[in-house]
Structure 1
Amino acid sequence: MNAVVLLDQGGNVSYTNLDEITGKVVVRCTKSSDVSSIAVKLEGESRTRLMSPSGPNGERPRPQLEYHKILYKVQTVFPPPDILEVKGSKASYTLPPGQHEYPFRFKVPFNNSCSNDRSQLAGGISITGSGLEVRQPPQRHVHKTLPPTLSGFPGEAEIRYYVKATVQRNSWYKENTRTETPFTFLPLEPPRRPITGSEVYARQNHAFTSFEDGEPVRLKMKGIFGRKREPAPVPGRSEPPVISIDARLPEPALLTCNQEIPLRIVVKKLSDSTDPIYLQSLQIALVGLTKIRAHLVHRTEANSSILVSKSNMGIVVGSPNDPSGTEVAIDDRIWRGQPLPNTVAPSFEACNISRTYQLDIRVGLSYSGPTAHSLKVRKTDIPRVVVALPMRLDLDILSGIKPSEALLEAVARGRGTAGRVPPGKSAPIVDKLRTEGRMPNSGAGQAMPTSIDEAGPSRPPEPPAEAASDVLPPSYSEAPPSYEDAIATDLPPIDAPRPNYAPPAAVDDDLLGRDEKRG
């Protein structure tokens, strides 16, 4: 017996929140086989593995594995619900020889569900290339929008999504048949903040150095018979220029996957020098900072993608006669039309992995002295003072899959009410923690938040909306999600353009662990 999962949306398709993943499980039998059920699971997992530092007494570093099941949905496609209700879950069914197809349908939620997965509370043992490694239960969960598919960190971190099918056999000596099909996930972007019209910027000031005082610049020039002669000194040398250069992005600083960078580079003249300044080189790189955590071990991986790299341009910036205070914008045609690579994932924060970005701009400017523009010489004979000015901008990258108007209206109607616990009741996770003895039944020993009004006189604190016992413990750092699953349950899939997201191909990574039930 063998099985395979076939998705209806084949090819390089990126799924997003609220999408319906449909397909079928194809089971082929060469002879009659007894099965108890066929289950299909929609799963997503985030795995990290880091080496702990050496101990103070010479203890050897140990691998730390952290595993989060960020998405988990199960659907039984065989037997049908009516038959299962009559015969029960322990009944056996015989599949005749041939090919059998069972359709399935899942709807991708908004938020991760790892904090509700009980299988993570007990930890486990992972089989890696170096042997058995103990996987401790995670102590921290982040309740936010599902992160994108992430790869490219072999042996350290991965976020993967897949549809898995399991054919349960009714005999203890027959192994269950398992198969899985991975897919790429790209989250829906949150509602964007309105554009303010202002700009965020990174700035560098620079004063060019002057040539030697009292010594004219002597440029070697060839005579008519090939001999070299020196030009006469040029009196009345002006002061070297002083400039300020800005790299600017519209506020808020946002980039979009597969789209151009709305960057502006502005050079401001801060002196009355009449000597020209040349733009010699320009490099724009996108730096991705991936923070990886495995329990108490942390590490930040930095990788960069070169977007623009130009050199030996020799473009005059502005005019030598511009007065002090003049701002000149560098022609954006140099980097216009260069979109972000399709391997760039949007910014996200998961339980054990997060991704932020910086834009690194390096501008090369040159100053050739007061004689360069007054003598007709070759550019290669002109001495230059070249400087590279680096600038960095913190920014966020969005997926480019915009929410529908119906979704935004539903969020606006439900904002402030979704996720609240009715009076007299507590959240389900709080009841679960109380039952397990990990949360006290009273509010003793817990400090209540105090609101401070800096603008007005002091006021007595308002009574809290919830009892102190309903406050989640610090181990669950649940930030308000961008969307609520309860709001979008009945909304249709998002009909919006999808960017081409193609992360590095994921492979079976033995170092990250593989349990006995993984396909």
Structure 2
Amino acid sequence: MSIRIALDNPPEFYTNLDYISGRVILGLHRPETISNVIVKLEGESRTALALPATTDHEEYHRVRGPGPGSVGNIVTENHKILYRVFQVYPDDGATLPLQPGQHEFKFNFKLPLNNICHDEKAMGALLGLGGLGGGFRTMDGTKQLMLQHVKATLPPSLTEFPQEAEIRYYIKVTIQRPGFFRENWRYQVGFKFLPVEPPRPPKTSQEAFARRPFTFKPRAPYYQRRSFFGGKSSSASPPEDSSQTPPSIEMSARIPFPSILTCNEPLPLRLIARKLVPTTTRDQQVYLTGLEIVLVGYTRVRVHHLENIERTSWVILAAPQISPPIALFDNPAGPVDAEFEVPSTLWKDRRLPNTIAPSFRTCNVARRYEIEIKLTLSWGQPLPPSNPFASHKPVPQFITLPLKLSRVDVFSGISPPRELLNALVLNTLGLNGVSRPPQLPQRPTPQQQQQPQQPPNVIFDPLYPPQLGSATAAAFGDAPPSYDEAMADSLAGPAARPAYSGVTAENAPSTMPPEKS
């Protein structure tokens, strides 16, 4: 006996609204009686944290992931974010013995947009009373009803935190054989998942920024050493202009607002230098000699009342020594408040690594991002490293400035279909494009309560269907539809997709501890 799942033209990763089709290939060496062949499309978000020691009050809030030797102190939480069942055999209700040879059973699923664990009706249908029938067992939804859920788009695959958190998607097949002492056959195959991005807000001229002013220290008199063979001893000579004011500059990092980055795309970053005090000579020029850009991700792992935040960083650019250094002003003696934009040639071609997952939030795992920038600046051009004492100019001063851009969202770069966006806009906006405010129903007067209600005189506009705001439409206070409600059955998945690998071993054995019953 052999079982194999063959997917039809599998892409690098699947996304929302994709069709997952394939075949269950069963090879038999002898006749077998099979009652059911069930194919399930499942997605799980599992977390595990170790309970802190009750006697150590300092470590109580510093929860860490489970480690070796702490199996008895581990708390787990498992959310079924996706669960679809498809019976591929028997299709006509008749059960016949299968002869030796190869047998194929086709299946076809469509990936939804939202998770399923928040839906009480869907979970209630899996209690064993609302299953598909046929005598096979489905998931017990009672455990899901007792957990805390959020309604959100399906999260991306995630397996980069062993023994602490993982999000997996897979297709599972169960072949049931009648008989008390005959075990069922099972097989599963995993796949990567990357969600579509939410609707992008309209572009604006606003920018999110992080800025930091700084002032160099006044220069002390420097010593100029004469030649030993000149017969004269060393003497101190004052600077060229001892009364010059040290440069004072404000550095700022700016990105378009709302702060959105895109997977596998460059950073839309601008670095601006602004002069704060007047300067008169070119000796007061400031240079950018080093630059580091790091994208930092914070993954919040939750298990019931326990939480832990994991920090992960991706270096976008690391240039500790920029050669030649970049002068921050074309004219150092320019007016106050003059601005200079650092050329983006250093980072404009640096794309986000394809291992970065988009920002997401699910029931027990969430991911957010920040941008950390370190600037190394010098007052005066750096001396050549080969012979730093060859120049008679003062030794330059160096300073390192950190800048942080928080609340940065990373989008997957997979735009939802235009039909879906139009359906969302039409259901959340009125006919004139104005957002619908919630309205309370009017209370009838005592005279109206006694009179029988007459049916309203409905006039249909052929240009606008009733669901778009005519007399038979729902009240304006209704909640906007979800992705699933606005999605048409014939809507296909997105076509354009970025390159993405993710830190995901979709078919590797799970490292999570077993769930306690």
Q: What is the TM-score when the length of structure 1 is the normalising length? A: 0.76
Please report how far the alpha carbon of residue 194 of structure 1 lies from its aligned counterpart in structure 2 after TM superposition.
0.6
Determine the structure 1 residue equivalent to 2:208.
Answer: 200
Please say if residues 427 and 480 of structure 2, whose CA atoms lie closer than 8 Å, have aligned partners that are also in contact. Answer: no
The counterpart of 1:111, out of the listed 104, 109, 114, is 114
| Residues 1:233 and 2:238 are matched in the alignment | yes
Which amino acid counterpart does residue 142 of structure 1 have in structure 2? V
1:349-388 alignment runs, 5 A limit? 349-368=361-380, 378=390, 383-388=395-400
1:138-287 alignment runs, 5 A limit? 138-212=146-220, 216-220=221-225, 232-237=237-242, 238-273=244-279, 274=281, 275-287=284-296
- Structure 2: segments with no counterpart, 5+ residues: 61-69, 129-142, 431-437, 444-478
The 1:378/1:396 distance shift into structure 2, 3 A limit, reads farther
The counterpart of 1:77, out of the listed 88, 105, 115, is 88
Determine the structure 2 residue equivalent to 1:497.
Answer: 496
Deviations 1:426-479 (A, max 9, x none): xxxxxxxxxxxxxxxxxxxxxxxxx9xxxxxxxxx95699xxxxxxxxxxxxxx
Determine the structure 2 residue equivalent to 1:405.
Answer: 418
1:42 & 1:228 partners in 2: Cα distance?
87
The 1:57/1:299 distance shift into structure 2, 3 A limit, reads closer
- 1:117 counterpart SS class: helix
1:179 & 1:147 partners in 2: Cα distance?
24
| Residues 1:44 and 2:43 are matched in the alignment | yes
- 1:94 counterpart SS class: coil
- 1:35 counterpart SS class: coil
Which amino acid counterpart does residue 170 of structure 1 have in structure 2? P
In percent, how many aligned pairs have the same letter? 36
Please say if residues 46 and 79 of structure 2, whose CA atoms lie closer than 8 Å, have aligned partners that are also in contact. Answer: yes
1:369 & 1:157 partners in 2: Cα distance?
49
Determine the structure 1 residue equivalent to 2:6.
Answer: 6
The 1:170/1:198 distance shift into structure 2, 3 A limit, reads same
1:367 & 1:336 partners in 2: Cα distance?
26
Please say if residues 191 and 403 of structure 1, whose CA atoms lie closer than 8 Å, have aligned partners that are also in contact. Answer: yes
Select between 504-513 and 151-160 the one with higher mean Cα deviation: 504-513
1:100-139 alignment runs, 5 A limit? 100-115=103-118, 116-118=122-124, 138-139=146-147
Deviations 1:155-201 (A, max 9, x none): 00011111111111112212211111111111111111011111110
2:486 & 2:382 partners in 1: Cα distance?
68
The 1:119/1:324 distance shift into structure 2, 3 A limit, reads same
Which amino acid counterpart does residue 94 of structure 1 have in structure 2? P
Please say if residues 123 and 144 of structure 2, whose CA atoms lie closer than 8 Å, have aligned partners that are also in contact. Answer: no
Please report how far the alpha carbon of residue 4 of structure 1 lies from its aligned counterpart in structure 2 after TM superposition.
1.2
1:278 & 1:8 partners in 2: Cα distance?
57
Which structure is higher in RCO with an 8 Å CA cutoff and minimum separation 6?
A: 1
Determine the structure 2 residue equivalent to 1:332.
Answer: 344
1:9-48 alignment runs, 5 A limit? 9-10=9-10, 13-48=12-47
- 1:338 counterpart SS class: coil
Deviations 1:38-93 (A, max 9, x none): 1111110000000122225999982110000000001111111xx21xx4xxxx43
Please say if residues 44 and 72 of structure 1, whose CA atoms lie closer than 8 Å, have aligned partners that are also in contact. Answer: yes
The 1:406/1:198 distance shift into structure 2, 3 A limit, reads same
Please report how far the alpha carbon of residue 369 of structure 1 lies from its aligned counterpart in structure 2 after TM superposition.
9.3
Please report how far the alpha carbon of residue 233 of structure 1 lies from its aligned counterpart in structure 2 after TM superposition.
2.6
- 1:407 counterpart SS class: helix
The 1:27/1:311 distance shift into structure 2, 3 A limit, reads same
The counterpart of 1:307, out of the listed 306, 316, 334, is 316
The 1:190/1:234 distance shift into structure 2, 3 A limit, reads same
The 1:25/1:110 distance shift into structure 2, 3 A limit, reads same
- 1:143 counterpart SS class: coil
- 2:192 counterpart SS class: strand
Please report how far the alpha carbon of residue 234 of structure 1 lies from its aligned counterpart in structure 2 after TM superposition.
2.8
1:296 & 1:464 partners in 2: Cα distance?
43
Please say if residues 67 and 138 of structure 1, whose CA atoms lie closer than 8 Å, have aligned partners that are also in contact. Answer: no
Please say if residues 39 and 75 of structure 1, whose CA atoms lie closer than 8 Å, have aligned partners that are also in contact. Answer: yes
1:255 & 1:412 partners in 2: Cα distance?
23
2:504 & 2:483 partners in 1: Cα distance?
31
RMSD of Structure 2 on Structure 1 (CA): 3.3
Select between 171-180 and 327-336 the one with higher mean Cα deviation: 171-180
Please say if residues 158 and 504 of structure 2, whose CA atoms lie closer than 8 Å, have aligned partners that are also in contact. Answer: no
1:189 & 1:382 partners in 2: Cα distance?
53
The counterpart of 1:341, out of the listed 353, 356, 364, is 353
Which amino acid counterpart does residue 156 of structure 2 have in structure 1? P
The 1:232/1:3 distance shift into structure 2, 3 A limit, reads same
Please report how far the alpha carbon of residue 136 of structure 1 lies from its aligned counterpart in structure 2 after TM superposition.
9.3
Please say if residues 383 and 395 of structure 2, whose CA atoms lie closer than 8 Å, have aligned partners that are also in contact. Answer: no
Please say if residues 2 and 28 of structure 2, whose CA atoms lie closer than 8 Å, have aligned partners that are also in contact. Answer: yes
Deviations 1:22-53 (A, max 9, x none): 11111111111111111111110000000122
Please say if residues 281 and 363 of structure 1, whose CA atoms lie closer than 8 Å, have aligned partners that are also in contact. Answer: yes
Determine the structure 2 residue equivalent to 1:423.
Answer: none
Please report how far the alpha carbon of residue 481 of structure 1 lies from its aligned counterpart in structure 2 after TM superposition.
8.6
Determine the structure 1 residue equivalent to 2:77.
Answer: 66
Deviations 1:249-293 (A, max 9, x none): 011110001001000000111011340111111000000010000
1:3 & 1:147 partners in 2: Cα distance?
29
1:57 & 1:285 partners in 2: Cα distance?
35
1:515 & 1:399 partners in 2: Cα distance?
35
Determine the structure 1 residue equivalent to 2:512.
Answer: 511
Deviations 1:456-512 (A, max 9, x none): xxxxx95699xxxxxxxxxxxxxx899420211324213431112212232323433
- Structure 1: segments with no counterpart, 5+ residues: 123-134, 418-450, 452-460, 466-479
1:405 & 1:50 partners in 2: Cα distance?
41
The 1:209/1:410 distance shift into structure 2, 3 A limit, reads same
Please report how far the alpha carbon of residue 306 of structure 1 lies from its aligned counterpart in structure 2 after TM superposition.
0.2
1:512 & 1:119 partners in 2: Cα distance?
28
1:513 & 1:337 partners in 2: Cα distance?
45
1:381 & 1:111 partners in 2: Cα distance?
65
Determine the structure 1 residue equivalent to 2:449.
Answer: none
1:185 & 1:336 partners in 2: Cα distance?
28
Please say if residues 28 and 97 of structure 1, whose CA atoms lie closer than 8 Å, have aligned partners that are also in contact. Answer: yes
